[in-house]
Amino acid sequence: MIHSSPRSSDTHPQSAAVELTELAAADHAESGEGSRQVQDRDVQDGCPEANQCAARRALITGVTGQDGSFLAELLLGKGYEVFGMVRRSSIDFRERIAHLEGRDGFHLVYGDLSDSMSLVAAIGEVRPTELYNLAAQSHVQVSFDVPEYSAEVDALGVLRVLEAVRLTGQTKTCRVYQASTSELYGKVEAVPQTEDTPFHPYSPYAVAKQYGHWIVEEYRCAYGMFAVSGILFNHESERRGETFVTRKITLAAARIAHGAQDRLLLGNLDSQRDWGYAKDYVECMWLMLQQDDPADFVIATGVQHSVREFAALAFRHAGIEVRWIGEGVEEKGVDVTTGRVVVEVSPSFYRPTDVVDLCGDPGKAQSVLGWNPHKTSFDELVALMVSHDMDKVASERASERREPNLEEYLEKGVVV
């Protein structure tokens, strides 16, 4: 029997183990045979065809994030049973996966990458055939403010996931994808970066992720696990967190175009990134786990742009043509039509060490995985993000305009 995920409002704050044990017991009572036994038969350790013969069950850590939400949609579309790991939050609303909650085949389990026991419980109960470890403290600048926590989750968290797979006897049945990052190249030693380019991590985030990357390789060698790392370059979308530079820009461009914000403050405008579309990149994560042999891949577009270029294009899509004047902290983006300053530099967004020259070579992913790195162009990516944020700001503005009216109605006693 398949259990739908509890809707946010129904979710009980109990451990994954308790929640899933109760569901398994309910299965047993209803079927008379016990679906737990069926699951165990299907995914026994040592079955060489495990990924073919078992029902496909994916566990996604970080399911509430940008990538996790796209990946959950992709896997549900392929007929997977999808388990998303969530942590308890004071706000019981998970915006990016709200549309999936309650859908057949989609389940939520509690767990935290800083808590080994929760991982052993969740991974031991779900017994996934594929585990995508996407959970992380993923903001580079924030990792300078919370370096210890970033290491706890982004380094040791990966070890905990791998150990949970091993301790629950699933090294031969559970394939593991680890979210590695182009930040590993850091203070880059070559451009473009390939799978063979040496790592030079340049932030607490990247140093922690480097541990995660190497421990995955270690478990692959030591225990013969199908455990792989995708070295993903920056990938963005309309679901991107609002403090990453792309989303910060597209939201600000939309707000400025709607007259809801005065100007945008940015840090290093010269920084260069290889930006792709997150929805395309989760396909690659899946492809990596479908291969005969485990291997790491660079996932990138191979095309590089500066923060300044991204900003200019985003403003253009929002109907504002920007001209750049000045240099360094004095540089400004000026609206060509009105002469108004819409972008300024603020050193408060400079990082103690910044990675400034990322550009990936997706050749191996193209030839081995058959993945298309150019499905969504840079221009299309910026356009879709701006379009989404123009709509978002317009609807926020419309509801702002309605609110005073509502208050007026209420004051006059006209309540319908």
Chain residues that interact with ligand NAP, rule: CB under 6 A: 61-62, 64-68, 87, 89, 112-114, 134-138, 153, 179, 181, 232, 234-235, 241
141 contacts which partner out of ligand G4F, ligand NAP, none, CB within 5 to 8 A by kind?
ligand G4F
- Which sign, positive or negative, has the C-alpha torsion 200, 202, 204, 205? negative
- Write down the least CB distance from residue 246 to ligand G4F, Å: 6
273 contacts which partner out of ligand G4F, ligand NAP, none, CB within 5 to 8 A by kind?
ligand G4F
The binding site for ligand G4F (CB under 6 A) comprises 138, 140-141, 181-183, 233-234, 243-246, 248, 266-268, 271, 273, 307, 349, 351, 354-356, 358
Are 123 and 161 contacting, i.e. CB atoms less than 8 angstroms apart? Answer: yes
Are 354 and 271 contacting, i.e. CB atoms less than 8 angstroms apart? Answer: yes
CA distances from 44 to 39, 128, 142, 290, 291 (A): 8, 11, 41, 19, 20
Nearer to ligand G4F, 105 or 230 (CB): 230
Backbone angles phi, psi at 304, to 5 degrees: -115, 140
Nearer to ligand G4F, 188 or 369 (CB): 188
Nearer to ligand G4F, 349 or 364 (CB): 349
Nearer to ligand NAP, 125 or 335 (CB): 125
Q: Is residue 273 helix, strand or coil? A: strand
Burial class (CB in 10 A: 0-12, 13-18, 19+), 33: exposed
- Write down the least CB distance from residue 403 to ligand NAP, Å: 28
DSSP secondary structure string for all residues of 167-186: HTT-TTT-EEEEEEEGGGT-
248 contacts which partner out of ligand NAP, ligand G4F, none, CB within 5 to 8 A by kind?
ligand G4F
Nearer to ligand NAP, 39 or 143 (CB): 143
- Write down the least CB distance from residue 60 to ligand NAP, Å: 9
Nearest residue to 284 via CA among 307, 273, 268, 300? 300
Tokens 């380094």 sit at which residue?
Answer: 155
Strand 341-345 versus strand 332-335 pairing type: antiparallel
Residue 189 DSSP class: S
CB atoms within 10 A of CB 364: 17
Measured from each CB, the residue nearest to ligand NAP is 65
- Write down the least CB distance from residue 15 to ligand NAP, Å: 14
Say how far apart CA 128 and CA 178 lie, in whole Å.
15
Q: Is residue 186 helix, strand or coil? A: coil
67 contacts which partner out of ligand G4F, ligand NAP, none, CB within 5 to 8 A by kind?
ligand NAP
- Write down the least CB distance from residue 65 to ligand G4F, Å: 10
268 contacts which partner out of ligand NAP, ligand G4F, none, CB within 5 to 8 A by kind?
ligand G4F
Q: Give the catalytic positions in this structure.
A: 181, 183, 205
